[in-house]
Amino acid sequence: MQKQEADNLPRVEIKTLLKEGLLSGKQSGLIHWHDPSLGNEYIFRIGSVYIDEIEDLYPDDDAKSQHDARPLEGLVEFTSMVIATLDENAQEYKFSQEFLLNKSIALKTTPCNYGKSRFWFSCPGIGPKRCRARVGVLYWLDNRLACRKCHDLTYKVRNIPKKERHKGRLHNIGEIDRMWSSLRKYSYKGKPTKKYLRAQKMTGEHNAAVDAFLAKGGLQREFTD
């Protein structure tokens, strides 16, 4: 059976929460995701965000300076998801559907440069199966937010023919995912770690190859692998 493709699914990205200030004090808000293929706007309502304060975890300065040793944690409460569609004249968005989520999703962190933390979602999994994978993106499918693996998703780029893959330095997405989620230290003694640089390089090469492929009209063609 053909797997569902991740490319055009509504999603919540941790980097959007960061951009909207939801990981640094702002406690509620809306997260938009624009569907480039249909022009729809998907809006996730966030009711509240809780993040452990470093001060709470580390009462004295000594412990605080060893911040790298222990991660921060948090919680995001998703209340609902609204789909907005463009009107007939493509002038204005109108709300067309709202789905209730009422779902709390845990946040995890890994240490980053200069005592900062990099945030991740802890995937809630689907059904009784708890996943807890550290992921940067949660996909929305069948009214559930979960990681790519739990939704059993594939990417369109997997359908690129093998001879094309060699040209553009496409890497195995699973391998890139694993590199990022197993990354513990982004820097050591003020310098980026080798592992971090390798993950960055591979991701950059991969994205460039995918962009080049899509620019050639790759999405319009169907491939069998």
Residues that bind Zn ion (CB under 5 A): 123, 131, 133, 146-147, 150
CA distance 73 to 70: 10
CA distance 175 to 173: 5
Q: Which is nearer to Zn ion, 4 or 200 (CB)?
A: 4
- Min separation Cβ 105 and Zn ion, Å: 11
Token pair 């022009």 in the structure block, residue: 39
Q: Which is nearer to Zn ion, 113 or 143 (CB)?
A: 143
- Min separation Cβ 149 and Zn ion, Å: 5
- Min separation Cβ 138 and Zn ion, Å: 8
CA distance 165 to 171: 8
Q: Which is nearer to Zn ion, 5 or 98 (CB)?
A: 5
- Min separation Cβ 108 and Zn ion, Å: 13
- Min separation Cβ 25 and Zn ion, Å: 28
Please name which of 32, 13, 33, 8 lies closest in space to residue 23, comparing C-alpha atoms: 13
Q: Which is nearer to Zn ion, 111 or 124 (CB)?
A: 124
CA distance 125 to 102: 15
Q: Which is nearer to Zn ion, 131 or 202 (CB)?
A: 131
Please classify residue 156 by burial: count the beta carbons closer than 10 Å to its beta carbon, then call 0-12 exposed, 13-18 middle and 19+ buried.
middle
| CA 34 remoteness from chain centre | 15
